[in-house]
Structure formats: structure tokens, C-alpha cells
Amino acid sequence: MITFAPDLVINRYMAEIVTQENQEKKSLNFIEQIVEQDLAEGKNGGRIQTRFPPEPNGYLHIGHAKAICMDFGIAERYGGICNLRFDDTNPTKENVEYVDAIMEDIRWLGFQWANVFYASDYFQQLWDFAVELIKEGKAYIDEQPQEVILSQKGTPTQPGIESPYRNRPMEENLALFEKMNSGELEEGSMVLRAKIDMSHNNMLFRDPIIYRIVKTPHHRTGDKWKAYPMYDFAHGQSDFFEGVTHSLCTLEFVPHRPLYDLFIDWLKKGEDLDDNRPKQREFNKLNLNYTLLSKRNLLSLVQNNMVDGWDDPRMPTICGYRRRGYTPEAIKLFVDKIGYTLYDALNDMALMEAACREDLNRRATRVSAVIDPVKLIVTNYPEDKVELLDAINNPEDPEAGTHQIAFSRELWIEREDFMEEAPKKYFRLTPGQEVRLKNAYIVLCTGCKKDAEGRVEEIYCECIPNTKTGESESNRRVRGTIHWVSIAHAVQAEVRLYDRLWLVENPRDELARLRETGLDVVDAMKQMMNPNSLEVRPCCYVEEFLADAQPLDHFQFQRIGYFCTDKSSTPDHLVFNRTVSLKDSFKPKG
């Protein structure tokens, strides 16, 4: 059996190395190389067909995005097709909500499948094939309990023990297989096993279970079936029935590949398939630090209300990233940067955030928002005067134009942009210092007023005439620029600031470790969770331009970060999610 290094390598620089290499060779990733070679050799008649095969047992996460980019990307690049196939062989965990969500997320990422198929489309064909195997003496019904079957498997260095039912007469096997599907048997009371080799060095060949009884109704076939094929007995055959040429999956399936090939050989009974059979090839899974993937874990978070649903902006689901403000382009850029390799690694979340900034920098409209407001009064500015000033929407994109912002005597600014007594290198507001108010005047700070507790209530400044952009004094030298919004014109908004959901760099391994100490999933997760992963600021002020911001609109709150209008936002109650800060300010704890 093939095994992989159990410890993940921290892979901070991998992305750069991979992309550099790719650029140098203008090179193909190793899967593309395989595909090109197959095309050159005329395999499968020059056809390319892939599939993306999710199990509809949860929402897609960022790891799936990597597989999607590969499956759809290969088809696109080589003029082939990619189908969506739901691997729905386990009715207890699957449902239509997940099917719909998976489709929505793939479309949002910008991919379109040629056909939608379901493994359940092939239940009859798979059943017939299993019957065929029984008749050929290649499968038998085992009535031993699961634990016993497991205990007879042996170890990689020791052969397994043959089941006492292994040589049951064919007729008996056929009758019992029918019975497995009739509803009269309890789950777990018997299974169908392929008869291969109990001492094979690939443990998966030691008479694998290929059918089991499940009595939960199926989301598509209802209660028609009670006997369901196992993954290994469904996946390769489904690929074969559909005409898949390249069945791309992740590295944990490497040991399954020989079984995948064997079942297809059995299916075609020795017919020469060399140039016309699906080929399973494997690439590394995406693992991200400070991120827990796996639908099963994410489902626990949702079911135990530890997050605000599958699309909580802290979730690593595709819909979570969408709600958080990531774009499909940012996700694809990230996947591109990390590349595909033949070994498992742990990628740095900072790479994902950098890809997001790179993309949003190109598309986000620059606006002013104050998320920790304190009042600034321009004492020499007339009380009833309002000026409309031009603000550039996006310096990276001249075509994005400008919008207007109102300037008046009373403004909101960030509390941290004032210090009554400031150190030397503090270039923001402090009495006696001049500062530029972004898009407006240079002002001289003159002082502040404090409440009984000594907290600053109001800050005062004087506007220096003719210092607006383009005016005679505008080139006057100042070290700092701060943002502001006019109090009379600002709109109140709720701002949600997110941080990492997990305190530990490798939550997957930490969760496993805590579970081993006897903790249940919820308690273990609670120990690992960042208690400050969400900070809600109910009373922020944003410029008027944002009053009709629509859900999923992207903005750069100048000097603060990239933000996205939340799906719950309305004109009466604006809500913005911080997608990512402007710079990487994260410091690992400890």
C-alpha cells in the first residue's frame, strides 16, 4: 500500500516556486503533461472528458474549488467537456439542498458543465454488474459483522483471513443479494464482497465490500433500492459508463487506482481497452493553515450553531468566501498560484488573502468609511457651507471615473487618527500639526475636548485656505493624510470585522488530537476556536455614495481594507463585511 508523509510541510514559498517554474518553462502542470501525451498518442480517439464528482452531503469548500479548476480547466483547455456528477451512493447524508447549492457555487466560479449525471443513474447497471460478478464467482455475500470483517483484514505485512462465507455456492449468493435489496434485512446484517485476494499487498484488494444495506430513502430513487454500491464500486464504473477519459482526483485515492482499473477490466471482460478507458490521476489536496475543511466538520459547525450557516463569512465554503467578498477571479488566481503537485502540503492563508487583494485592487471602488468614529470640527469653516468634492473611484482604473463627496464643518474621523500627545513619527492629527483630509483641505489641529472620564469627545482644527487639490497652496508639505466623512451627509452602517476562525495553524490535526483525548467534536472545536473571530461595529459611518450599495458590491474603505455589502444589508440598515485588510497584519500567536 502506498502511504504519504503524515506530517504536512508548511508550504509558504511553494506557490512562488511553482509559478516561477511554470513561467520559466511556460510549462504545463503534470496533469496537463499527461493529457498532452495521451492526445499525442491518440488515446480515447483524441477525446477529452473530465467530471467533477462531489458527494451532495454538504456545501463545497475552497478545496473543491481547486478540484473544480482542474476538472473544468482541463476540459476547457483541450476542447473537451466536463460533466458534473453527483456521487450519491450514501442516502443517509445526501439531499437536494446540497445538490442545488453545489450547482450554484460551480456556476458562480464561472464554470459550466456539459451534463449533470448522478451515480444513482447507474444503480441498475451497477446491480447488473454485481450479479454478473456473483455468477462468475467473483463476489460473495458475507454475513459476518463489520467488526469481524475488519479484524480479518490483516495488516500490510500480514495476510488477512478468508471469510467462512467466501466459497458459498453461487445460487445462494444470488438469492441473498436479492434479499439484501428486498427490505427484509437489517442494515449491517450482510454485505457483498468482491472475491480478490486476502493476502494482496494492497489492502483494498482484500475482498473489498462492494454493496451494503441502507434503508434510508434516497433523495432521487426513493425506496427503490436497499442495497447500495460502495464508492470504489461506483466511481470508476460511472466514469466508464459516461466515457470519462481523465478521472482526476486527490492523492488519497492513489491506492484505489489499481482497484479502479480492475473493476473496469472485469466490466469489459478482457476486451482490449488500452486506448479507450478512463484514467485515474491524482493531485494534492488543498490544505490551508488556520482553516478546517471537510464537509463533515463544516456540517458540525453549522448544526451546532457555532457559525451563522454554511455561508458565514468565516467559513471556508465557496458561499462563505462569496459572502465575505471574495470574487471568483480571486479564488482562481489563488488556485493558479499554488499549483498542483504530487505531495500534500499546508498552504499559507496569506497567499489566499494576497490573491484577493490583487483582484480587489483592480475592481473595488474607493470610498470613505469611519469604523471607530470621533467628531472633528473645522472651526473656521462656515456652519451652513457644503462643498461637493471629486473622489477618484479607482486609481488603478481611469475608466471607473469619479464620484462626489460632501465636505462640511463637522466630520467623522477615526479615533486612532488623533493623539493629544503624540510621538515624533505620528503624522496624523495632534495639536500644532498639519494633516491632509483626503480629497479636501489641509487642516491644522488645534486641540480637543474630553468628557469626565478623559475620553476625547471632539477634536478641533482649522482649515488652511486654498489647499484643495489644484489650488494655489495644495502643494504645501504635510506628512499625513487621513480619511473622513461629513456628519450631516454620512450614513450609519454596521461593519463586521472578521478574523481567523481557528487559533491553531493546523486545525485538522489538532481536532484529531483533541478527539483522541476523548472530547466530542463540539467541545474539541470550542477549544480551538478564536473567540474574537467576529467583531461587530454597529455604529460606523460611511459616505452617502454607499447608501444604495447592493449585496455583494465590493469596496475599498480607504486606509482600512476591502469590504463587501452583506446579503442582509438594506438601505435602512447597511451591513458591510470586511473581506480582507489592506495589508497582511496577522501575527501567529505564541
Which residues of this protein are in contact with ligand ATP, per CB under 6 A? 53-55, 61, 63-64, 66-67, 87, 249-250, 285-286, 293-295
> Among the candidate windows 53-61, 253-261, 518-526, 582-590, which touches Mg ion by CB under 5 A?
53-61
Least Cβ distance, residue 255 to ligand ATP (angstroms): 14
Joined together, the cell numbers standing for residue 299 give: 456540517
Of the pair 55, 397, the CB lying nearest Mg ion is at: 55
- Cβ–Cβ contacts within 10 Å for residue 177, how many? 22
Backbone angles phi, psi at 379, to 5 degrees: -65, -25
Name which of 293 and 330 has its Cβ closer to ligand ATP: 293
Are 250 and 285 in contact by the 8 Å Cβ rule? The answer is yes
| Partner whose binding site includes residue 95, from Mg ion, ligand ATP, none (CB under 5 to 8 Å by kind) | none
DSSP-derived letter for residue 245 is S
Cβ 52 to ligand ATP, closest distance in Å? 6
Least distance from C-beta 433 to Mg ion, angstroms?
59
437: partner contacted, choices Mg ion, ligand ATP, none (Cβ within 5-8 A by kind): none
Q: 316 is in the binding site of which of ligand ATP, Mg ion, none (Cβ under 5 to 8 A by kind)?
A: none
Q: How far is the CB of 340 from ligand ATP (least distance, A)?
A: 9
Minimum gap (Å) between residue 297 Cβ and ligand ATP: 8
- d(CA 236, CA 377) in angstroms, rounded, equals 71
63 binds, among ligand ATP, Mg ion, none (CB under 5 to 8 A by kind): ligand ATP
Please report, as residue ranges, which positions from 55 to 114 form the binding site for Mg ion (by CB under 5 A): 55
Q: Which residue in the shown chain puts its C-beta closest to ligand ATP?
A: 63
Percentages helix, strand, coil for the chain (3-state, rounded to 5) are: 35, 25, 45
DSSP 104-118: HHHHHHT---S-EEE
Q: Are 133 and 248 a contacting pair, CB within 8 Å?
A: no
293 binds, among ligand ATP, Mg ion, none (CB under 5 to 8 A by kind): ligand ATP
Minimum Å distance from CB 288 to ligand ATP?
Answer: 9
Count Cβ neighbours within 10 Å for each residue of 78-87 and write b for 16 or more, e otherwise: bebbbbbbbb
Nearer to ligand ATP, 333 or 552 (CB): 333
- Burial string for 405-441 (b: 16+ CB within 10 Å, else e) reads bbbbbebbbbeebbbeebeeeeebbbbebbbbbbbbb
Q: DSSP per residue over 503-544, as a string?
A: SSS-HHHHHHHHHHTT--HHHHHHHHB-TTSEEEEEEEEE-G
Residue 307 binds which entry of ligand ATP, Mg ion, none, with Cβ cut-offs from 5 to 8 Å by kind?
none
- Distance of closest approach, residue 366 Cβ to ligand ATP, in angstroms: 35
Q: How many CA atoms lie within 13 A of 387 on its CB side?
A: 13
Stretch that binds Mg ion, among 10-18, 47-55, 153-161, 578-586 (CB under 5 A): 47-55
Residues 6+ away with beta carbon under 8 Å from 585? none
Which of Mg ion, ligand ATP, none lies near 219, with the C-beta cut-off 5 to 8 A by kind?
none
Binding site for Mg ion (CB under 5 A): 55
